[in-house]
C-alpha cells in the first residue's frame, strides 16, 4: 500500500453471488477502503437474514486515527435481541443433531474463507480499531486457526463406558451441547475473540447470538457473512450490533431458553453479567482483566528479554489483557534493560496503521488516551523516571506516544490498574522471593512472563506465580491449541485447546442394568 494513508485501488466492484457470497466484478476503479467498507453488512444477522433494527436506529463506527465516521450500522433494540435468540433456539435442535463431521466441514470451509479474505479482514480491523496492518494480518492468522482447530475437535468429543465398581450395571457417560449461547466480544481483537467463541460453540453443536463491541463491529459482521458463505445454516449464528448494550444483554441473559454466556471484557462488567447469569444458573465463561508481571532475573539473556518485552507490551498498542503491565527487573540489570528498551521504543513510528512502517497506531478512542495520560502523570508525580514518550501525540486521532518509565514507585496507580496502552513500567527487585511477592500482589491472575536461563528457577516460578498462563522466555503465549484463561479476578473457564470445546458441552451419566445378570 502507498505510504500516507494506505489508499489503493481495486480493478472491480463488489456484488453478491449465489448465497450472498462476496464476489468481485471487473471494471471500476475505486478506493480499496471505500470498496471494502461498502461490502461489509450494516444490519443485524437474524435467522440467516440481514435486517435493519426494528426501529431503524443506527450508530456510527469511527476510525480512531482521525475520528472520521467510516460506516453506520444497525443498533439493535431489546426486541431485536429477543428475535436473535428466537432464531438461535429454533435452529438448535437441527444443528445439535447434525453429525459432528458435517459441523467440522462447515468450520473448515469457514477457515478457508477467512484465509482467502485475509487482506480484507486485516484492512478492516486496522480501519476500525487502529492496529498496524502487520498486526491485523497476524490476528487474522491467529483467529482463523480457531476455526480450523475446532473443526478438528468437533469429531473428537468423547464419553466413556464401563462397569460400575459394584458390578451391578454399566455406566455410560456422554457429552451434549449445552444449548443456545450468548457471546459478548471485546473491541481490541475483533476477529480472534469472535472466532475463539463461535468456533467451539458450533463444533459442540450449539447455536449462538454474538454481540460485538460497538466500537469495532465491522470485522465481526464480515466474518459472519463468511460463515454464511461457508454453509452455516440459518439461525446457527446470529449477530446483534447495538449501542443499547445493557437492556439488550439483560433481556437475552434473562431469557430461560439461553443456557450459556461467554464474555470477554473488563472485570467490573464481568461481575455484573455473572450476577445476571445467576438467575438462570447459566454456564459462564469469563475472560476478564489482567495485570501481567514480566519478571527478568539476573541470569536472563537480556536480548531475549528485551525482545520479549517489546512483544508482550506493545502488541496491539498495549491494548490487550495479556499485555505485560509491570516489568519486574533484577536490580543488577534494571538500568541496562531500561536503556535497551528505551532505545527500541524511541525508534517506534506512530501513525495510521495503514501507513508503511507504523509501529504504534491510535488507541481506540480519546477516553483511552485520557486514562493512559492519567496513569503516566500519576506515576511521574510519585517519582517514576520518564525515559521516553509520556504525552499525547499532537495530531488528529487518539494517539499516545509509546512510553518507558523507570523506578516506578509501589504506590503508582499503574501498578494496580490495567494500563491498556503503550506504557512500559519498570520496577527493580533484589531476589526471587521479592519478585514472586511483587508479581502476585494483584487481584488479577491472567498471565505472567518469566525470563531466566535457570531451568530450576523457571520451574519454581511457574509453580509459584498465581496466573492461569505463563510465558517462560517468551513474550506471547496465545495459541488456538492452548487453553486461554486466568485465575482470581481474571476470569472463569478456558478458551482454545482441547479444553475450549468443553465450555459448550454438558455431561450426562446413564446407568444401565448388568447385561449379564
Q: Is 287 a catalytic residue?
A: yes
* Dihedral Cα 459, 461, 463, 467, nearest 10 deg: -130
Distances in Å between the alpha carbon of 28 and those of 6, 13, 39, 280? 19, 6, 15, 53
Which H or E element spans position 10? strand 9-16
Beta 208-211 vs 237-239: how paired, if at all? parallel
Could you give the CA distance from residue 95 to residue 90 in angstroms, rounded to a whole number?
A: 10
Beta 44-46 vs 49-51: how paired, if at all? antiparallel
Distances in Å between the alpha carbon of 198 and those of 73, 151, 227, 269, 503? 21, 11, 10, 21, 12
> Of these residues, 287, 418, 495, 503, which one is catalytic?
287
DSSP state of 234: T
DSSP state of 118: H
E strands present in 362-473: 385-388, 403-406, 423-429, 444-445, 447-451, 469-472
Could you give the CA distance from residue 426 to residue 477 in angstroms, rounded to a whole number?
A: 21
Cell 476510525, residue located:
63
Q: Chain-centre distance of CA 279, in angstroms?
A: 27
Beta 260-264 vs 181-184: how paired, if at all? parallel
First to last CA, the chain: 75
For 288: left if phi > 0, alpha if psi spans -120 to 50, otherwise beta; the answer is beta
Instruction: List helix spans (H) across 161-255.
Output: 192-204, 218-229, 245-253
Supply φ then ψ for residue 345, to 5 degrees: -70, -40
CB within 8 Å of 311: residues ≥ 6 apart: 475, 476
How many Cβ atoms from other residues are within 10 Å of residue 316's Cβ?
A: 23
Cell 527500541, residue located:
344
Q: Residue 72, SS3? A: strand
Could you give the CA distance from residue 221 to residue 128 in angstroms, rounded to a whole number?
A: 12
Could you give the CA distance from residue 284 to residue 274 in angstroms, rounded to a whole number?
A: 8
Closest to 474 measured CA to CA, from 451, 490, 497: 451
**Which residues are annotated as catalytic?**
287
Amino acid at each position: 500500500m502507498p505510504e500516507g494513508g494506505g489508499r489503493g485501488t481495486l480493478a472491480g466492484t463488489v456484488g453478491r453471488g449465489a448465497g450472498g457470497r462476496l464476489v468481485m466484478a471487473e471494471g471500476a476503479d475505486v478506493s480499496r477502503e471505500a470498496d471494502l467498507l461498502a461490502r461489509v453488512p450494516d444490519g443485524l444477522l437474524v435467522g440467516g437474514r440481514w435486517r435493519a433494527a426494528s426501529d431503524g436506529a443506527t450508530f456510527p463506527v469511527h476510525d480512531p486515527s482521525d475520528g472520521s465516521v467510516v460506516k453506520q450500522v444497525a443498533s439493535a433494540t431489546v426486541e431485536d435481541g429477543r428475535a436473535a435468540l428466537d432464531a438461535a433456539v429454533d435452529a438448535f435442535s437441527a444443528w445439535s443433531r447434525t453429525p459432528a463431521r458435517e459441523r467440522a466441514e462447515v468450520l473448515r470451509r469457514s477457515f478457508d474463507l477467512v484465509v482467502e479474505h485475509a487482506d480484507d479482514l486485516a484492512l478492516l480491523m486496522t480501519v476500525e480499531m487502529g492496529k498496524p496492518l502487520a498486526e491485523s494480518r497476524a490476528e487474522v492468522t491467529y483467529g482463523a486457526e480457531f476455526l480450523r482447530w475446532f473443526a478438528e475437535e468437533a469429531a473428537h468429543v468423547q464419553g466413556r463406558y464401563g462397569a460400575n465398581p459394584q458390578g451391578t450395571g454399566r455406566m455410560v457417560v456422554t457429552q451434549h451441547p449445552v444449548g443456545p449461547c450468548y457471546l459478548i466480544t471485546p473491541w481490541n481483537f475483533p476477529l480472534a475473540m469472535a472466532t475463539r467463541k463461535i468456533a467451539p460453540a458450533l463444533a459442540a453443536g450449539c447455536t449462538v447470538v454474538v454481540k460485538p463491541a460497538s466500537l469495532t463491529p465491522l470485522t465481526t459482521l464480515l466474518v459472519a457473512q463468511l460463515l454464511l458463505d461457508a454453509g452455516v445454516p440459518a439461525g446457527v449464528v446470529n449477530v446483534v450490533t447495538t449501542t443499547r448494550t445493557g437492556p439488550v444483554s439483560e433481556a437475552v441473559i434473562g431469557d430461560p431458553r439461553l443456557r450459556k454466556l461467554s464474555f470477554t471484557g473488563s472485570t467490573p462488567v464481568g461481575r455484573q453479567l455473572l450476577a445476571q447469569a445467576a438467575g438462570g444458573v447459566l454456564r459462564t465463561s469469563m475472560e476478564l482483566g489482567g495485570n501481567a508481571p514480566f519478571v527478568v532475573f539476573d541470569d536472563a539473556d537480556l536480548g531475549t528479554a528485551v525482545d520479549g518485552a517489546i512483544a508482550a507490551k506493545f502488541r496491539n498498542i498495549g491494548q490487550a489483557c495479556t499485555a505485560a503491565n509491570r516489568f519486574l527487573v533484577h536490580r543488577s540489570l534494571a538500568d541496562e534493560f531500561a536503556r535497551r528498551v528505551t532505545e527500541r521504543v524511541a525508534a517506534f513510528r506512530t501513525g495510521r496503521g495503514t501507513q508503511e512502517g507504523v509501529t504504534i497506531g491510535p488507541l481506540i478512542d480519546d477516553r483511552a488516551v485520557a486514562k493512559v495520560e492519567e496513569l503516566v502523570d500519576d506515576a511521574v508525580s510519585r517519582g517514576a523516571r520518564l525515559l521516553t514518550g509520556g504525552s499525547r501525540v499532537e495530531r488528529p486521532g487518539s494517539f499516545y506516544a509509546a512510553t518507558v518509565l523507570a523506578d516506578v514507585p509501589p504506590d503508582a496507580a499503574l501498578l494496580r490498574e490495567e494500563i491498556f496502552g503503550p506504557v512500559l513500567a519498570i520496577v527493580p527487585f533484589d531476589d526471587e522471593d521479592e519478585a514472586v511477592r511483587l508479581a502476585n500482589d494483584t487481584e488479577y491472575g491472567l498471565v505472567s512472563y518469566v525470563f531466566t536461563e535457570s531451568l530450576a528457577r523457571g520451574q519454581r516460578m511457574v509453580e509459584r506465580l498465581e496466573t492461569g498462563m505463563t510465558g517462560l522466555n517468551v513474550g506471547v503465549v496465545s495459541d488456538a491449541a492452548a487453553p486461554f484463561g486466568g485465575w482470581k479476578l481474571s476470569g472463569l473457564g478456558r478458551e482454545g485447546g482441547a479444553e475450549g470445546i468443553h465450555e459448550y458441552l454438558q455431561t450426562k451419566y446413564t446407568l444401565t442394568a448388568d447385561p449379564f445378570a
